Amino acid sequence: MKKIYLDGLIVDEADAKVSVFDHGLLYGDGVFEGIRFYNHRVFRLEEHIRRLYDSAKSILLTIPLTPQEMIAATCATIRANGLVDGYIRLVITRGVGPMGLSPYKCPKASVIIIVDTISLYSEEAYANGLTMATCSSRRPSHDILSPQVKSLNYLNNVMAKVEALQAGAEEGLILNDLGLVAECTGDNVFVIRDGFITTPPITAGALPGITRAAVIDIAKELGIPLAERDLSRHDIYTCDECFLTGTAAEVIAATKLDQRVLGTGKPGPITQKIIARFREIVGTTGTPV
């Protein structure tokens, strides 16, 4: 039986319950992180924790643990579940309060840590690449809600995912209000043309992904030129290679967008080189559990 961290206690899955008056449930008021661990090591845990606290600060949510206490609680939950490799979902809700939007009536935030296995895409998708479709759902701009806040309100991403699935694709490409590429429903986007890697900047509406940052580091290590700049769909249609990054997805090639075959229609050599190096790094680095 899975063990869940809930407000200071590690309990059985069946006992991990939240109130129907929790504002995370009622209003999507809260933040979260998805984190991976490999071979008893949590990949870039400190970076994930920092992003979690940045998101919370942005929405005036006080987390009732220090970052170091959160790290300790995360590792303890992994140990309680006895997994060598897996996925962590760290959730902070606004907590229990009366009906109404005001967060100031919720006296204390709730902390939930879930540890489980995950398989976002099929083995065939990793071998052959993903099919993508452009979604009509747009990424909200920074003056509406900063895309850098990883909040519990994921309806924008959910509806984009629905569009992609209804179009027969596995992932959806989301544009910003200017019609430029922001990211996918759960992944950052990279394209390769003439040996040069490009990815949209954070200002375009991309989440500052932890795996995204790891891949940027890998490109520098391998001597592959990379830049952050605005991308249009045309840039993806005409690229030599395309790949996506995300904690759950890791690094995966994309080989079709809107019925256009990308590159050769197979994961390209630079993509494969980055995937291989990424797998080496996650298997040997990270915070020991």
- Residue 197: which pLDDT band, with cuts at 50, 70 and 90? very high
Confidence at residue 143, expressed as pLDDT on a 0 to 100 scale? 84
pLDDT at 140: 86
Helix, strand or coil for residue 81?
helix
Cα distance between residue 105 and residue 161, in whole Å: 34
pLDDT by residue (tens digit) across 139-159? 988 888 888 999 999 999 999
Mapped onto helix, strand or coil, the DSSP state of residue 283 is helix
2 is catalytic: no
For 3-116, the fitting CATH number among 3.20.20.70, 3.30.470.10, 3.30.70.2190, 3.40.50.1820 is: 3.30.470.10
User: Per-residue pLDDT averaged across 159-174, rounded?
Assistant: 97
Distance between alpha carbon 181 and the CA centroid of its chain, in Å?
17
What interhelical angle do 210-222 and 45-58 show, nearest 10? Answer: 130
CA distance 253 to 218: 16
DSSP 3-64: EEEETTEEEEGGG----TTBHHHHH--EEEEEEEEETTEETTHHHHHHHHHHHHHHTT---S
Helix (H) or strand (E) holding 112: strand 110-116
Mean pLDDT of 174-201: 97
* Reported pTM: 0.95
Q: What is the mean pLDDT of the chain?
A: 96
Q: Do domains 3-116 and 123-284 have the same CATH topology?
A: no
* Mean pLDDT value across residues 207-219: 97
Taking alpha carbons only, the member of 30, 7, 248 closest to residue 112 is 7
Judge whether residue 119 has pLDDT over 90.
no
- Measured in whole angstroms, the distance separating CA 50 from the mean position of its chain's CA atoms is 14
Q: Give residue limits of the domains in the chain.
A: 3-116, 123-284
Looking at 150, 161, 256, 273, which residue is catalytic?
150
User: Which burial class, exposed, middle or buried, applies to 154 when counting CB atoms under 10 A from its CB (0-12, 13-18, 19+)?
Assistant: middle
- Mean pLDDT across 193-200: 98
Instruction: Write the burial class of residue 249 (CB in 10 Å: 0-12 exposed, 13-18 middle, 19+ buried).
Output: buried
Q: What is the pLDDT of residues 21-68, one digit of tens each?
A: 999 999 999 999 999 999 999 999 999 999 999 999 999 999 999 999
* Structure-token pair, residue 238: 């005409």
Query: What CATH number should be reported for the domain whose range is 123-284?
Result: 3.20.10.10
Nearest to 242 by CA among 178, 186, 212, 198: 198
